[in-house]
Amino acid sequence: MDILIRRARPEEYETLGEITAQAYLGDGLLDFGESDGYLVHLRDVERRAAAADVLVAVDRQGTVLGGVTHVPSAGSALAELAGPGEAEIRMLAVAREARGRGAGEALVRACIDRARATEGCFRVVLSTQRTMRAAHRVYERLGFTRAPARDWNPLPDLDDILLLTYELTL
């Protein structure tokens, strides 16, 4: 299947937001399910696109298969993990029916390419949950390595939430 990676268009924001929300819900990645406050952020593609590069994977017919937020620098309001000289990958999601076709890997590769094209960027970082094993395999296949010293908890009041960090030196 041919997959094109490009910037998300405003008319695709709602679709991508729902793909992202449903991917997180369907995979059991939100501790509070439908009432999880993070759903608002997952669905708000317009806000992400105003602060970072939101990319989509589309097929030949233009159907949105998934998307990712590429945060080009640590100074962005969306950077949670990135330090100086680092780009960050956030909110990677592929529609359930499009999984296994290479869309997720193509999106990650596009983020790496953008980081390499950014002057002064020497590393790409991302956070992932322990259960996202398919994503881990993609990251490792593309050369990312675990950076356990950078693992972090987005909700310090809940001890059992730990986001794993992966990084790729360019």
> pTM score, two decimals?
0.93
- 144 against 77, higher pLDDT: 144
pLDDT beyond 90 at 74: no
- CATH at residue 101: 3.40.630.30
pLDDT-derived band at 72, boundaries 50, 70, 90? very high
- 147 against 34, higher pLDDT: 147
Kindly state the helix (H) or strand (E) to which residue 168 belongs, with its residue range. strand 164-169
- Mean pLDDT throughout 95-113? 96
Q: Where does the chain have alpha helices with state H? A: 13-26, 38-43, 45-51, 103-116, 133-141
Q: Which domain holds residue 54?
A: 4-169
Residue listed under structure tokens 């991917």: 23
Question: In the chain, what percentage of residues exceed pLDDT 70?
Answer: 95
CB 107 within 8 A of CB 57: yes
Mean pLDDT of the chain: 92
Domain count, the chain: 1
Provide the 10 A C-beta neighbour count for residue 56.
Answer: 27
The tens digit of pLDDT for each residue in 110-169 reads: 999 999 999 999 999 999 988 888 899 999 999 999 999 999 887 666 666 778 999 999
SS3 69: strand
Residue 147 region, left (φ>0) first, then alpha (ψ -120 to 50), else beta? beta
Please give the angle made by the CA atoms of 40, 46 and 49, to the nearest 5 degrees.
Answer: 115
